[in-house]
Amino acid sequence: MFHPNAVQAGAALCGALLLSGCANQLGQRSEHEQRIERKLLEHSLQIDVGEPPLLELPQRRVRILEQKTFEVTEFEVSRHYDRYTPYQGWRELYEVPLGAGAVVAGVGANVANILTFGNVPDSATKGWFDYGFAGLNPAMNVESHGRSQQNLASTDENQLVARKEYSSLPWADRPVSVMAGKQRHELSTDSKGILRLNLLDSPFAEQANISRVGKLQLSIIDPQDDTQAQATLLVSRSLRGKLVEAHRLIFDDLEGDDVAQWVHRVKRLADLGLEEEASELEQSLIELTRNDPQLQQEFLQALQKNAGRLAADPGANE
């Protein structure tokens, strides 16, 4: 007759087995991927002020580029995972009887395999035995891919190739500092990395001594790594002598003048060699007189007769 303590110890042992059984190990799984590592080797900024470096006209487009050199390394990464079926004790309630049935079926499959000279598939002769013994084992569940779990076992990383990569991109929508004499102006490039300088436009037009400024000092800086670049544009003495008069011709009140004064302004700008500014003023006056066809026609005729310029309203056929 069993001692009560022995019965209790046996029950405790069975309970422990049910609660802390072993995981059923599955085949290892691997993942493969490629990883690219980019290391910055060189970073520079380039300010292209164009040619010539001496400003003879008030407008200039300055192109700014950001250039980088990278070391690009490609790696093949393999991750290996240990897979297992976690133990759940309650599953033994149905796995044990199923396991017993699978062992019996395995015996029958092996007998049939002998009689058929090895034509029974391994999934029956071996697979049923594997399932059966796992099911009969109270400390292990049967393999289940559906509820399997995994842990990272190891990682292998192999370098495939290393190369240098170069990029040259516009310094787009970024600040540019322009020093004109003793006054500093903060401008900005456009989406293509172009800085549009115009000494007849803001902020230079508001600078009282702009006609005495002999050079423009351009500077940029990348705050991420303090990469910097500088460039200088000289302003010719001839252009400096034209700035004050040209500014007056363009920006003084137009509506207070008559047609003759309008023509004089356009012609004088052209005579100063400022053809782009003359054309812009011409188009502004055509736009100003669009709602007065008679006045517009008078201006166009006077422009042709007294300044030798042919112009037309670009919106007349719209």
| Count of the separate structural domains present in the chain | 2
Q: Is residue 294 part of a domain?
A: yes
Q: What is the pLDDT of residue 215?
A: 94
Q: Is residue 311 part of a domain?
A: yes
pTM of the complete model:
0.65
Q: Is residue 115 part of a domain?
A: yes
**What is the distance in angstroms between the CA of the first residue and the CA of the last residue of the chain?**
114
Q: Is residue 131 part of a domain?
A: yes
Residue where one domain finishes, among candidates 76, 108, 142: 142
Task: State which residues form the domain around 301.
Answer: 252-318
Structure tokens at 167: 């990029």
Q: What is the pLDDT of residue 170?
A: 97
Residue where one domain finishes, among candidates 142, 159, 174: 142
Q: Is residue 207 part of a domain?
A: no
Q: What is the pLDDT of residue 7?
A: 47
Residues of the chain with pLDDT under 70: 1-21, 311-318
Q: What is the pLDDT of residue 106?
A: 75
d(CA 91, CA 101): 16
Q: Is residue 59 part of a domain?
A: no
- For the stretch 267-280, pLDDT in tens is 999 999 999 999 99
Q: Are 183 and 204 in contact (CB under 8 A)?
A: no
Q: What is the pLDDT of residue 5?
A: 53
All residues at 6 or more sequence positions from 127 whose CB lies less than 8 Å from its CB, including other chains: none
Q: Is residue 293 part of a domain?
A: yes
Residue where one domain finishes, among candidates 103, 122, 142: 142
Q: Is residue 198 part of a domain?
A: no
What angle separates helix 293-307 from helix 275-288, to the nearest 10 degrees? Answer: 150
